[in-house]
Structure 1
Amino acid sequence: MSIFRRPDYQSDATQFINNLKASKPELEKQQQLGRSLLWDKAVDRKVWGEYSEARVPQKPYVYQTSGD
């Protein structure tokens, strides 16, 4: 054992999360299902490319009137 090794420390937040996961083993599966609803989507690259090409560039200051 090294003399520089610190004792194992866990913050209050880490302890809370570990206790929560231990008391509710189904929690991680529920988190994955929730993530799949919002984030894990199939991306059609062709449609996304067409969308990017069709964008109109925004003026640097949108509220500026063009009264020169």
Structure 2
Amino acid sequence: MYHYQSETTQFLNEYLAQNPAEAERRLHNRALLWDVTLDAEEQAGFDAAKLPKKPYAYQPD
């Protein structure tokens, strides 16, 4: 099996091993950006703002 790791991956693995609190901060910061739940009112607003798609996107108007 091929076990190549780039220098960047090696650096990150070593850094996280030396700084275990950083892994917790990464999870916390990830949650701020990606693990967001939208309430029903907010989702309805996004759905209402959508424009209908054209049948053929490259057709000139």
TM-score by length of 2: 0.58
Q: Highest CA radius of gyration, 1 or 2?
A: 1
Instruction: Quote the sequence identity (%).
Output: 30
SS state at 1:26 partner: helix
Structure 1 portions without partners, runs of 5+: 58-68
Say if 2:19 is the partner of 1:24: yes
Structure 2 alignment gaps of length 5 or more: 52-61
Distance 1:29 1:43 in 2: 24
CA-based RMSD of the aligned residues comes to 2.2
Higher normalized contact order (CA 8 Å, seq sep 6+, divided by chain length): 2
Shift in CA distance, 13/56, structure 1 to aligned 2, threshold 3 Å: closer
Moved over 6 A (4+): none
TM-score (norm 1): 0.54
More helix by share: 2
